[in-house]
Structure 1
């Protein structure tokens, strides 16, 4: 009988511990009022920029070759151009790092909307120019335009993106 009582007490103690652990967790439908759900636009924004980066890597990779595939460069530049057209709509208000989201977007995006719009337009223009110059097959001209497009990215990052490497 002692063994049975000891076993029962051990089970009760285990269940009590489990219940205490569950009680300290907040179910998703009862999250604190101050918790902020991450908007879907953040994933769209991050995916868009990741794809821009991948396309730009493809451009740079082709330019490292003796005989670049200018068709691939033009296609990548067109992809960047199409995605650059999405940038403004991906930056809805209150989705910066300062608003508590897992992003590199600084509040400066919304504090300087005219400058941000100009920076997005610059990428749009430079990527369109890259697609156009790729048709020439002139590696030096394409390389120079790729640098100009990369400069548009850098200028925007310098103003509106968290530099976590400092």
Structure 2
């Protein structure tokens, strides 16, 4: 793990430090290896601070969103709203992942998923899923229960 972290820091240091904050086993290794490699403090501090500030919301927000969705009072369209919220989140995640794979498909060696997701398929599938995610989010925002959900969410996130 240490040699992989060292290789990643040499190859793309800022991104390694930022992503290293989100992956549990590498969290303590990235600063250690950066110090051993005499990485400039300025080159280390900026992505480290961004990672430290952004990872708690990224980790906690899905649970908060789900908890608020569960606390919506039962009604005739509550189930549909929860399903639309879940579908929107899944479509958004899947679209981001496919767009990321499509962007990396020309710069990396084929892996096990490349057989089912070649660059030619990703070229039309990733934008299509991104469009479906945007449509689901628009439907979600226009749903009648959205003001109630937003109010409950604001109540939870308010300090």
**TM-score scaled by length of structure 2:** 0.32
Point out the structure with the larger helix share: 2
Look at both structures and tell me which one has the larger radius of gyration over its CA atoms.
Answer: 1
